[in-house]
A and B are shown apart, each in its own frame.
Chain A
Amino acid sequence: MTVIADPFAAYQADPFFCELTAVRAGDGGAPALVRERLAAIGLEGLRARALAAESDLFNLGITFTVYSEATTIDRILPFDCIPRIITAGEWRTLESGVRQRVAALNAFLHDIYHDRHIVADGVVPGDLIFGNPNYRPEMEGFPVRFGTYVHICGIDIVRDEQGEFRVLEDNARTPSGVSYVIENRHLMLRAFPDLMAGMRIRPVDDYGRRLRAALSEIAPEGVADPQVVLLSPGIYNSAYFEHVFLAREMGVPLVEGADLTVENDRVSMRTTGGRRPVHTIYRRINDDFLDPTIFRGESMIGVPGLIGAWRRGNVALANAVGTGVSDDKAIYAYMPRIIRYYLDQEPILANVTTHICREPEALAYTLAHLEELVVKPVGESGGYGITIGPRASRAELEAARAALIADPANWISQPVIGLSVAPTLCEDGIGPRHLDLRPFAVTGRDTWVLPGGLSRVALRQGSLVVNSSQGGGSKDTWVMEDDFPEGPAR
């Protein structure tokens, strides 16, 4: 065994864009400094600290739950200690791009639940919207405050070989992961103060305050001091830790369905001193399960009568019901056109080219180029049901072909994007691993974007799937404060 002094000596990112080693304007030398400091800590030092950091996560119960046949397992989201750096300039692009996207999503939702201009003008086919299982007729003609439907939005962004940011997916229902953004930062501050010393990094722990403010803004008009609650399905939900985290950061009660009750179209919570009114509900329960009297009758996690109270304007829901129609993978393909249509602007963040297989031409193209394309079901999340052409076996390709032919409308296809990589601590040293970025936007009256976001990294060599259920981990994401005309203080 030879001892490698520079842990980056064997690091090779080509042909992908590297988030740490690529030459970027205005990085002010921060990435180089991080590399230098990582080398000073050394591989063994990094491993020891990473181990201690992961054990912290376990002890703190910063875990998500994976369900198998009969058991539940608490897992941590594996944490990689080498940060991902976003320059101040890159962040300006990302931030304005995310704002633009959120504005377009809200305008689109308002339109389709009211006048439907976009359909009348032939920009988006009506059956894509009205035939979508996430379209909610209950929403038609119903006003929401400030026209905001998507109060919390997580937009998945990747970077291609040229370093250009591209949106992979919009998450406009109940996106999760923001707790890891903040916990990862705390963890870095504890375990790697020497790596961060002197770096001017945008702070992330303002999220809870911003979220609480936005949720208070959207409460029914005339309520002076609105009671906000976070509605969770409970401890068996995989994202329960995040629900706890957000409730705590906001300083609001974490409630479950059984804590709430609806009388005379008003929602209240059951307290030791009786029932107390509730005005805004940040619900982390899908539409289908919110109200058993309207949606799924067998649901025990929802609140009977909640939708009635909401339609009477007595309580606000975040996100609004029926936003799932906008983050559908089929609608995604139309997002550049949706942005131009409502905002009269060019998209700041590009889409990934998308073939909508319900359209015969796109289907024919997809079937002809199956081995080059990524095929995705339109309704799934969490990376399930995806076939990556160049990686798939013959049998997997044939299965995908059969599924496409059987139900073309359920599928889209996209070219394989060579996702950017970042140096990641692996068994055999520091190696390049693919990653994405999920920034979080909070919208009440206005939109605020948390500086940074969740960087999810595929820990398996060569893997493009970053989801936590499939071997993904995460990194701390640093948005640099300054434009560094000179370089950071050393």
Chain B
Amino acid sequence: MTRGVALLARYAEGLFWMARYLERVENMARLVDVTQNFESPGREAEAWYALVRINADEAPFADRGLFGEPEAVKRFYVLDATNPTSITASIEAARTNARTLRPLISTEMWMQMNVFHRDILAISEDELQADRLSRLCRRIKEGVQAHTGITEGTFFRDEGWHFYQLGRLLERADQTTRLLDIKYHQLMPSGIEERRVLELTQWSVVLRACAGYHAFRRVAPAGFAPRDVVRFLIGDPSFPRSVTLCVTELEWHLTQLRRHYGLRGTVGALERVEELRGALTDRAVEQLIAEGLHEFLDRVQRDLIRLGNEIGTAFFRDWRPLATQSQSMGPDMTQSQGAGGRTMRMGDLTLSMPPLEPEP
């Protein structure tokens, strides 16, 4: 049943997180882009602060002495390396994982990652200005898309590839729920016809942000309503960023791992997927909206976190005997990588650092 070479648990984890961080980079660029495009005169601060709320970053944001100024939010999510959810921090984390994965990933993947990483670290404050921001976001998206394409064309599709896909799909599903949530508060349908038209325009921007506008127009009724957008982003079976499609693919990869690699640890994760699927299909969109879309999205996000935990516990934990003694795989472990040997800083290592080898 098992084919190929055994995959180190540490590598599986690294692949999972590398993919996740890169997906996060792309999605953050999309979120920043959509916020920029959404910005309606006079309500800039509100629009940008929504980004902070949706990422549940109110506390760290305030800790830095920041308020909702648009410039501060942009800097926080693009440039601030100390903010773990920023693009800069995510690419750094992705590259650190890639570095440990170099024996596995293709040379072309590594090379592009290296160049992309350097490119992102070189982003200047000037590029955050309103007239240039959209171009910057496009460049960042394209960097991740280049990675995705190179991976598609060069990465060996054995066990490790499935873990890579699990990470990316989990993150993507999560990010779609956030994208949907970000506009939910501002976009509840109201009565006035004029306002409704404006809102529909804004929903189009959301769709464009996740590259779903044209596909949506193909499948949506002529006079579409916000609920159709919600249904599309959550439930469409063919849209690459819909939550349902991500969950379907997550299930497929878990099943492959079980069938072809005999990984019994997939049982728990598959149960979590079942729960998710239930949550996604149980109720009609109208009902979800009536009961509170935000609460629903929150629940999906929590389910995704549980799924991430399940995968972590089943496959990655064994190689972290030191880390897991003092720290269980709590919820925060699923949103960023845990403190294993990988993320250990230089300071921790100096004691155990071996003398340099007779160097070249």
Question: Residues of A at under 8 Å CB distance from B?
Answer: 58-61, 64, 70, 72, 77, 154, 171, 173-177, 180, 233-242, 244, 247-248, 253-256, 258-259, 261, 269-276, 284-286, 288-289, 296, 298-301, 381-382, 438, 454, 456, 467-469, 474
- Beyond A258-B321, A270-B10, A299-B352, whether A60 also contacts B107 by CB under 8 A is yes
Contact among B10, B340, B353, B359 with A382 in the assembled complex (CB-CB below 8 Å): B359
A-B contact pairs, 26 of them (CB 8 A): A64-B360, A174-B357, A174-B358, A233-B353, A235-B96, A236-B346, A238-B359, A248-B102, A248-B103, A253-B11, A254-B103, A256-B10, A258-B10, A258-B320, A258-B322, A259-B9, A259-B319, A269-B8, A272-B263, A272-B265, A300-B349, A381-B357, A381-B359, A382-B356, A467-B359, A468-B360
- If the complex has contacts A270-B10, A272-B159, are A300 and B358 also in contact, measured as CB distance less than 8 A? no
In contact, B318 and A236 (Cβ under 8 angstroms): no
7 additional contacts, CB 8 Å, given A60-B111, A175-B357, A381-B359? A59-B111, A154-B358, A247-B103, A258-B320, A269-B8, A270-B8, A276-B6
Q: A61-B114, A258-B320, A300-B322 are in contact. Are A238 and B357 (CB under 8 A)?
A: yes
- B 318-360 to A, binary, CB cutoff 8 A, 1 in contact else 0: 1111100000000000000000110000100101111111111
Give the CA-CA distance A362 to B21 in the complex, in Å.
61
Q: Are B352 and A301 in contact (CB under 8 A)?
A: yes
B357 CB to closest chain A CB (Å) equals 5
From known contacts A72-B346, A234-B341, A256-B341, infer whether A271 and B358 are also in contact, taking CB-CB under 8 Å. Answer: no
What does the 1/0 interface line of B112-134 toward A look like (CB < 8 Å)? Answer: 00110000000000000000000
B359 touches A64 (CB 8 A): yes
B238 CB within 8 Å of chain A = no
CB distance from A258 to the nearest CB of B (A): 5
Given A259-B319, A270-B9, A273-B6, answer yes or no on A301-B354 (Cβ-Cβ < 8 Å): yes
Question: Which residues of B have CB within 8 Å of A244?
Answer: 102-103
Are A273 and B261 in contact, CB atoms less than 8 angstroms apart?
yes
Q: How many A-B residue pairs have CB under 8 A?
A: 149
* B9 adjacent to A60 (CB under 8 Å): no
The distance in angstroms between the C-alpha atoms of A235 and B92, with both chains bound, is: 14
Q: How far is the CB of A422 from chain B (nearest CB, A)?
A: 17
Task: Evaluate contact between A176 and B357: CB separation under 8 angstroms.
Answer: yes
| Beta-carbon contact of A255 and B357 below 8 Å | no
The answer to the question of B12 belonging to the interface, with a C-beta cut-off of 8 Å to chain A, is yes
Cα distance, A261 to B318, chains bound together (Å): 10
Q: Does B315 contact A (CB under 8 A)?
A: yes
Given A60-B114, A270-B10, A300 contacting B319 (CB threshold 8 A): no
Instruction: Point out the residues of chain B lying under 8 angstroms from A438, CB to CB.
Output: 360
For residue B99, CB closer than 8 A to chain A, the reply is yes
Partner of A271, one of B7, B96, B110, B257: B7
The smallest beta-carbon distance between A190 and chain B, in angstroms, is: 13
Count B interface residues, CB 8 Å: 46
Q: Which residues of chain A are within 8 angstroms of B358 by Cβ–Cβ distance?
A: 154, 171, 173-176, 381-382
Q: Which residues of A contact B9 (CB under 8 A)?
A: 259, 270-272
Most chain A Cβ neighbours within 10 Å, of B12, B107, B318, B358: B358
Q: How far is A235 from B342 in the complex, measured between Cα atoms in Å?
A: 8
How far apart sit A72 and B96, CA to CA, in the bound complex (Å)?
13
Also in contact, A239 and B340, with CB within 8 A (given A61-B111, A273-B261): no
Q: Is the CB of B319 within 8 A of A258?
A: yes
Contacts of A235 in B (CB 8 A): 96, 99-100
Pick the most buried of B265, B320, B353: most chain A CB atoms within 10 A of its CB: B353
**Do the beta carbons of B319 and A270 come within 8 Å of each other?**
yes
Looking at the complex, which one of A64, A174, A289, A468 makes contact with B352 (CB distance below 8 Å)?
Answer: A289
Q: Do the beta carbons of A456 and B346 come within 8 Å of each other?
A: no
Expressed in whole angstroms, the minimum distance between the Cβ of B337 and any Cβ of chain A is 14
Contacts A60-B107, A234-B341 known; A272 to B12 CB distance under 8 Å?
Answer: yes
Which of B103, B356, B357 counts the most chain A CB atoms within 10 A? B357
Q: Give Cα A240 to B103, complex, Å.
A: 11
Give the distance to chain B from A150, nearest Cβ to Cβ, in Å.
Answer: 13
Whether a CB of chain A sits under 8 angstroms from the CB of B153 is no
Given A59-B115, A270-B319, CB of A177 within 8 Å of CB of B261 = no
> Closest chain A residue to B95 by CB distance?
A61
Which B67-115 residues sit within 8 Å CB-CB of chain A? 96, 99-100, 102-103, 107, 110-111, 114-115
Instruction: Report A-chain residues with C-beta under 8 Å of the C-beta of B265.
Output: 272
Q: Which residue of B lies closest to A285 (CB)?
A: B354
Chain B hits for A77, CB < 8 A: 360
Interface pair A286/B354, CB less than 8 Å apart: yes
Which of chain B's residues have a CB closer than 8 A to the CB of A59? 111, 114-115
Closest to B349 in A: A236
Assembled-state Cα–Cα distance A328/B142 (Å): 54
Please indicate the chain A residues that have their CB under 8 angstroms from the CB of B12 in the complex: 272
Q: Tell yes or no: B145 within 8 A of A by CB.
A: no
- B5 located at the interface, meaning its Cβ lies under 8 Å from any Cβ of chain A in the complex: yes
A171 CA / B358 CA spacing, docked (Å): 8
B262 at the interface (CB under 8 A from A): yes
Q: Which of A180, A275, A284, A289 contacts B360 (CB 8 A)?
A: A180
On whether the beta carbons of A176 and B359 are closer than 8 Å, the reply is: yes
Let me know if B40 is at the binding interface, CB within 8 A: no
A53-B262 Cα distance, complex, nearest whole Å: 45
A70 cross-chain contacts in B, Cβ below 8 A:
346
- Of chain B, the residue at the smallest CB distance from A296 is B352
Complex alpha-carbon distance, A59 and B352, angstroms: 30
Contact A255–B354 (Cβ < 8 Å): no
Query: Which residues of the partner chain A approach B114 to less than 8 Å between Cβ atoms?
Result: 58-61
Query: Which A residues touch B320, using CB under 8 A?
Result: 258
The 3 closest A-B pairs by CB, nearest first: A177-B360, A381-B358, A271-B6
Give chain B nearest CB distance to A133 CB in angstroms.
Answer: 12
Q: How far is B261's CA from A261's CA once the two chains are assembled, in angstroms?
A: 22
Q: CB-nearest residue of chain A relative to B341?
A: A258
> Distance (Å) between the CB of A408 and the closest chain B CB?
23
| B2 interfacial by beta-carbon distance below 8 Å | yes
* Residues of chain B contacted by A286 (CB below 8 angstroms): 354-355, 357
Q: How far is the CA of A59 from the CA of B353 in the complex (A)?
A: 27
Name B321's closest neighbour in chain A (CB-CB): A258
User: Of B263, B351, B352, which is in contact with the most chain A CB atoms at under 10 Å from its CB?
Assistant: B352
- B354 adjacent to A288 (CB under 8 Å): yes
Nearest neighbor of A287 in chain B, beta-carbon distance = B354
A301 to B261, CA, bound (A): 29
Q: Kindly provide the distance from the CB of A207 to the nearest chain B CB, expressed in whole angstroms.
A: 14
